[in-house]
Amino acid sequence: MLGYQKNIAASQLRTGRVKVVGVLVPSLVDTFFAALVSDLEEMAEADGYQVLVATSGDDAAREAAQLDALLGWKPSGLIAVPCTNAIPEALRREMATLPIVLVDRIGEEDLPVDTVVVDNHAAGREAARHVLEMGHREILVAASVAGLRPIADRIRGIIDACHAEAVTPRIAELGTDVEDGAARMAACLAREGHPTAVIAMTNVTTLATLTALAQSGIDVPGDVSLVGFDDYAWMTARKTPLSAVRQPISNIAQSAWSCLMARIGGSRDEPVRLTLDAPLQRRNSVCAPRTVPGAA
């Protein structure tokens, strides 16, 4: 019944440091980031750290503002998912002095900080190969923002795989909002007719595609096959569970966290560049196209 708790501000003012790490993500509504933050928070708590969460809403200006706010707390470290390929100036400035781990969206190489990413090229390639093997030749890629590094990498992986079979995938840009994306997808479908397979590049575009497909009365996988991205409960809560590329979220979180802890612990090693595998989960949303293309 002591009821005493120390004043963190006073403590941090005196010592200059404080057991807090900032976490900056584009959005908490996107389950990918929510899960990431959740995992990080759990590990932080286990290590006696407090997490300061900030979201950029995929807006560079807000990102910069949030970053400043975060930095004002003088955290012992920072884990960030930048919202564009460009590293915010404030972040770049801190790289020299503050332990920082960049995750998922890394636009440039040779950054002087640890990075944890997914092998997006391989992920795209595997997804494409899967639908290719099933005989699909009319493939539509549902991208969020094609310019974003991870998306671009996934698309390149798809294109590389398709190239080997002499097929050229179409690419639709759906944005980061489900409803808006569904509308764009529906428009695309109406305009150009539907392909035999869709590969979605994020969980949001997967949702958008599914919505558009459902609204247009197009059956999955009867009319079009679908490979999703990310792996969530709702994907398997359906009559035909979705095949999808599963991003190893807890691995990502763990890796990022241990990198950060090592840096905070004083490690001055070379920056580590982790690339994690995102394996394809084969389920039932991909099957042979209805009109099998005649043999060559």
Partner DNA sequence: ACTACTTGGTAAAACGTTTATCCATTCGCC
Partner DNA sequence: GGCGAATGGATAAACGTTTTACCAAGTAGT
Answer for which of 85, 211, 251, 254 binds a second copy (CB under 8 A) is: 211
Distance CA 164, CA 253 (A): 34
Is 150 buried (19+), middle (13-18) or exposed (0-12) by CB count in 10 A? buried
Answer for which of 12, 250, 251, 258 binds a second copy (CB under 8 A) is: 12
Query: Two tokens at 30?
Result: 């996107």
- Closer to a second copy by CB, 229 or 232: give it: 232
Distance CA 247, CA 270 (A): 26
Asked whether position 282 contacts a second copy by CB under 8 A, the answer is no
Interacting partner of 254 out of DNA, a second copy, none (Cβ under 5 to 8 A depending on kind) = none
Distance CA 147, CA 85 (A): 8
Asked whether position 76 contacts a second copy by CB under 8 A, the answer is no
Residues 9-28 that bind DNA (CB under 7 A): 10-11, 13-16
- Cβ 18 to DNA shortest distance, Å: 9
- Cβ 265 to DNA shortest distance, Å: 16
- State the binding string over 89-108 for a second copy (x if CB under 8 A, else -): ----x---------------
- Cβ 68 to DNA shortest distance, Å: 13
Distance CA 263, CA 267 (A): 5
In the β-sheet with 20-25, what is the strand arrangement from edge to edge?
Answer: 50-55, 20-25, 77-80, 100-103, 114-118, 273-276
Distance CA 85, CA 19 (A): 29
- State the binding string over 19-48 for a second copy (x if CB under 8 A, else -): --------xxx-x--xx-xx--xx--x---
Query: Two tokens at 148?
Result: 């974003």
Distance CA 34, CA 31 (A): 5
Answer for which of 187, 214, 288, 292 binds a second copy (CB under 8 A) is: 214
Asked whether position 64 contacts a second copy by CB under 8 A, the answer is no
What does DSSP assign to residue 271? Answer: P
Q: How many CA atoms lie within 13 A of 89 on its CB side?
A: 3
Residues 152-191 that bind a second copy (CB under 8 A): 178-179, 182
Distance CA 9, CA 98 (A): 19
Residues lying near a second copy in the complex (CB under 8 A) are found at 3, 5-10, 12-13, 18, 27-29, 31, 34-35, 37-38, 41-42, 45, 50-55, 57, 62, 65-66, 68-69, 71-74, 93, 178-179, 182, 207-208, 210-211, 214, 219, 232-234, 236-239, 241
Residues lying near DNA in the complex (CB under 7 A) are found at 6-7, 10-11, 13-16
